[in-house]
Amino acid sequence: MSLSRRAFVRRLGMGGAGMLSASFVMARGHEELVALGRGAGLESLLQTATALEPIKISSNENARGPSPKALQAMADHVTSNLGRGYPVPGEREFVETIAGLYGAQPENVLVSTGSGAELHAGVLAYVTPSRPLVTGQPSYGSPERTAADAGGTVKHVPVDASLFLDLDGMVQAANGAGLVFLCNPNNPTSTAHTLADVEQAVRAIKQQSPETAVLVDEAYLDYATAPGVATAAQLALELPGVFVTRTFSKAYGMAGMRIGYAIGQPETLEKLSNAWGLGDVNTLSAVAGTAALKDTAHMDWERQENGRIRDFILTEFRQMGYEAPDSQTNFVFVNLRRPAAGFRDACRERGVLVGRDFPPMEQTHCRISLGTMEEMQKAMAVFKEVLGTSTSM
C-alpha cells in the first residue's frame, strides 16, 4: 500500500505544529511534552504549557526559533523513505555547505550531535593529569567538568576587570598544558575578543608550547556585533592542534535538533573523533542545517532583533545603576551587587527564571538570557520590583 506524504505525516503524529514545530526544534522547555504528547493533542499541550510556564530566561535559548526555510526543508523531506538506509541523505551537502563558509574542504569539518560532544572529545583527546586544561574563570564549565571526571587537572585564569578573558594570562598558563579553552564570546560574561587578539594569543601559545592544543568555542559568535570580532576558523585550518567549535543551538534556534561541528585540520579532527563518540546527524538535522546556513537574511534579522532586545535590557539595568558589559551574546551578565541566589529565588517566586550561579562571581553577578521583547519587558518589571524591595539578599 502506497503512503502519501500527508498520510505518512499524520500517521507519525507530526502534522501541523507537531514534531516539526518551532517549539520542538528549539526544545525551549517543552522536551517533556514532546516526549509525552502525540498527534493533534500535542499542540494543545504546548499551548497550555506556554500559558502556565514562567518566563524562562535561564539557559540562553533562542526565543524566536529556527529559520522558516529550515522548517520547510524538514517538512519537504518527510516521506515514506524517511530514515531508511545509509548513509544519511543530505549529510554530504551539509558538510560541504559548512566547508564552503570557510573556504575549507569537507575533511576540515567534523559534524556531531551538538557541539558539546566536540568539547568533551577535545578534553579527552588532549588533557591528562600531567597536561592540564587551561580555562577562563568564569567560563563555560563543560570542559572543566570533563577534565575533572577524567582525572585531569585544571588551571583557572580569572577574567580581567572588564570581564574579558585574560588572554595574556592564559598564554602564560598554557606552557606544557594539554588544551587551552577559549570561549569567545565568553559564557557567562558575554564579552568577546577581536579576531586579532585571539590570533595573537593562539600563535603565542603554539609558539611556546607546540604540543598544546587550542579550542576556540564560538557558540555565540553569530550574535556578536562589535568591530573586529570574527571567527578563528582560518587559524584552525592553518595550525595543527587548533580547532573551532560551532553550534546550531543558539542563533540558529535548533537546540532540539542537536547539531554542532568543528573546523580544523584533518589530523586534529581525527584525534577528536577517536577520543569520543560524536554521534551522527540525522536526515532532518542535515537538511535543516543546510537550509539554515543558506538563509543569511534570517540570520541578519535574528542578529538585529537580538541586538534590539539586548540594548533594551542593558539600558534598563544601567538606568537603575547596575553595570553590565556590552554583551556580544544573547544574554547579559549584570553586577547586581548581591548574591545571584537570592535574586534568582525572588524572581522565580514572581514567575521569572534566570541563570544559575557562576563561581567565583556568584556573590555579585547574575546571567540573564534574552527572551522575546514582550518577555523581557515583563521580566524587567519583575527585576525592578525585586531590586527595589531589597538592598541585600
Alpha-carbon gap, residue 229 to 276, rounded angstroms: 30
pLDDT, tens digit, 9 for 90 and up, residues 361-379 = 999 999 999 999 999 999 9
Residue appearing with cell numbers 546571567:
367
pTM (2 decimals)? 0.86
pLDDT of residue 389: 52
Alpha-carbon gap, residue 274 to 191, rounded angstroms: 33
End-to-end CA distance of the chain: 66
Domains of the chain are: 5-65 (no CATH), 91-294 (3.40.640.10), 297-389 (3.90.1150.10)
DSSP string for residues in 237-304: HHSTTEEEEEESSSTT--GGG--EEEEE-HHHHHHHHHHS------HHHHHHHHHHHH-HHHHHHHHH
pLDDT of residue 18: 44
The parts of the chain modelled with pLDDT lower than 70 are: 1-52, 80, 83-87, 389-393
Tell me the backbone φ, ψ of residue 133, rounded to 5 degrees.
-90, 135
pLDDT of residue 191: 98
* Cross-strand pairs, 158: 137
- Coil, helix or strand for 297? helix
pLDDT of residue 52: 56
Region of 180 on the Ramachandran plot (φ > 0 left; ψ -120 to 50 alpha; else beta)? beta
CA distances for 344 relative to 50, 51, 184, 255, angstroms: 21, 21, 26, 24
pLDDT of residue 257: 85
Given a contact cutoff of 8 angstroms between Cβ atoms, the answer to whether 228 and 199 are in contact is no
Maximum Cα interatomic distance, the chain, rounded to a whole number of Å: 70
* Closest CA relative to residue 252, chosen from 77, 22, 94, 32: 22
pLDDT of residue 20: 53
pLDDT of residue 46: 43
pLDDT of residue 283: 86
* Cross-strand pairs, 55: 352
Alpha-carbon gap, residue 185 to 192, rounded angstroms: 4
pLDDT, tens digit, 9 for 90 and up, residues 99-157 = 999 999 999 999 998 888 899 999 999 999 999 999 999 999 999 999 999 999 999 99
* Cross-strand pairs, 280: none
Given a contact cutoff of 8 angstroms between Cβ atoms, the answer to whether 170 and 180 are in contact is yes
